[in-house]
Chain A
């Protein structure tokens, strides 16, 4: 099964790593809101995973 390609904010996989870079810099700088950004990035990673779950898997094996 195919899925839409091309630029879309929901599927910019690069974004996950850009945010991780910000998280790392934030830890060094001592920004106290960084754990929230890390949580948001984990949620975004899950969203990217969900978008990629296009092939059905029979879970009754």
Chain B
């Protein structure tokens, strides 16, 4: 495969990975705001691992493809997996323990989190083995000297910015809402649940972050296009 095409395919894989991560974060935020289930300290540790997982693909998209970025995501996945493994062990040690929080398709969220972290480790390892994107001299979606096709390049820039800004908004929301639950200290082991927004407002609130991100990404992409046009 030609280096340019390898970079393009690699970017798409990174965008899809970030979309998957957004899905996981959206599920947990829906539980928090829609259902009213407040996150436990171990859940917050796993959320931190999930955000760390996103750092590698974001660096790949903005700085260019580099195996070190995948390595960072692998380390984040190991940290997150340590949190989810700890929580799984806590709840299976006692056979009468019903587990923490609701089940999704028969598994608790921390079990799904462990699956996500393991899939991420395997995925990153496989992508590191694929050398073609690393040898193309990629400098990120915003620094393409000779874009393949303007329309495709514009769409990739917009999509990249959309997923990055969406995760950034989710991260800000997680951070802001930790303050009332935990203050400037440790979070309670078994936080009291709150009244959720109920359906469909829970999902609308969670998905509105995507709409805001799409608009900001469109504005930034237009500015980038104007800068490209002024430069050429």
Chain A residues within CB distance 8 Å of chain B: 3-8, 11-14, 16-18, 20-21, 23-24, 27-28, 30, 34-35, 38-39, 41-42, 45-46, 48-49, 51-53, 55, 57-59, 61
Contacts and interface: CB of A to CB of B under 8 A. Distances in A.
Interface in B42-76: 42, 44-45, 48-49, 51-52, 55, 58-59, 62-63, 68, 72, 75-76
Contacts of B89: 57, 59
Nearest to B140: A30
B229 to A, nearest CB: 22
Interface string B195-225: 0000000000000000000000000000000
Interface residues of B, number: 39
Given A20-B55, A46-B79, A49-B79, 9 more contacts: A13-B44, A14-B179, A17-B174, A24-B55, A42-B79, A45-B79, A49-B45, A53-B86, A61-B93
B133 interface: no
B93 A7 contact: no
Nearest to B71: A35
7 contacts: A14-B182, A21-B168, A21-B172, A38-B76, A42-B52, A48-B45, A52-B86
B52 A38 contact: yes
A9 B187 CA distance: 13
A17 B51 contact: yes
A49 B42 contact: yes
Interface of B: 41-42, 44-45, 48-49, 51-52, 55, 58-59, 62-63, 68, 72, 75-76, 79, 82-83, 86, 89-90, 93, 164, 167-168, 171-172, 174-175, 178-179, 182-187
A57 B82 contact: no
A52 B79 contact: no
Contacts of A27: 55, 58-59, 62-63
Contact of A58 (B41, B93, B164): B93
A23 B75 CA distance: 15
B175 A23 contact: no
A12 B184 CA distance: 5
B63 to A, nearest CB: 7
B222 to A, nearest CB: 17
A13 B58 contact: no
Contacts of B41: 13, 48, 52
A17 B185 contact: no
B175 A18 contact: yes
A42 B76 CA distance: 6
Contacts of B175: 14, 17-18, 20-21
